[in-house]
Amino acid sequence: MQRKVASAYPAYLVPLLVMCITLLLLLDAAITYWHYEVSALHGLLRDQFNVDHERNLPTWFSSVQLLTAAHVANRIRRDLPTERSLTAASWFCLSAGLLFMSMDEVCGFHETLNSFTRGEWTLYGAGVAGFAAVLLVPVLLSVSVTTALMFVVAGGMFVAGAVGVEHQSAWFAEFNLLDTLEYRKQTLLEEGLEMISVTLFIYAAIRHLRQTQVVTG
């Protein structure tokens, strides 16, 4: 009898993630619109569903989402023929990086870095993203063309949100426009890109497992 290794991840996982992302973004958008265009709302209500704030429901979701991505990546690494190959090392780096980003969501490492440096942390983030792209080439070569394309799209979307859109926030901060509807629209775009990109990666990684990792049981 054969069973797929990927059965450890339920079929409803990705649809559940998509549903949660949609709900979180719509809630934040609705609360933001009501606050700026209809009537001011209490800060506690806005902060609890603000995708740009820390220590709230969206932050917890993003952390769990990245942790799930790290787990899937590590599962793929463990199922490789040899764990001492360059490919395995690349998958390990990917898993470790996702784990670090999961921790960063709740610990705010990048914000701490920004307080100790003169430039925006996004400039360092762009450099890290470029280095990671080179480091993860073996990962892309170890999967099908379709899966590799999905990984590239997911990575591009994440960097576009986390670095590209985030970098534009400096303009709003410079002119003291952080408490505006226009800035909140930008944060929704940024966080939406990040959440969707991580979900795409999880989908592609589980798809890879289902296509290639079959064991006898």
Compute the CA torsion angle 134, 139, 140, 145 (nearest 10 deg).
180
| The CA-based dihedral angle spanning residues 198, 200, 201, 205, taken in that order and rounded to the nearest 10 degrees | 140
pLDDT band at 83 (very low <50, low <70, confident <90, very high): low
pLDDT tens-place string over residues 172-190:
877 888 889 999 999 999 9
pLDDT score at 122: 67
Distance CA 165, CA 126 (A): 12
pLDDT digits 0-9 by tens, 115-164: 666 556 667 778 888 999 999 999 999 999 999 999 999 999 999 988 88
Number of alpha carbons in the 13 Å side-chain half-sphere of residue 116: 6
Closest CA to 162 of 93, 94, 98: 98
Q: CB under 8 Å to 151, separation ≥6 — which residues?
A: 139, 140, 143, 201, 204
Residue 1 has pLDDT above 50, yes or no: no
The pLDDT score that the predictor gives to residue 97 is: 95
Residue 4, Cβ density class (10 Å: 0-12 exposed, 13-18 middle, ≥19 buried): middle
Instruction: Take residue 116 and report the two structure tokens written for it.
Output: 């100790």
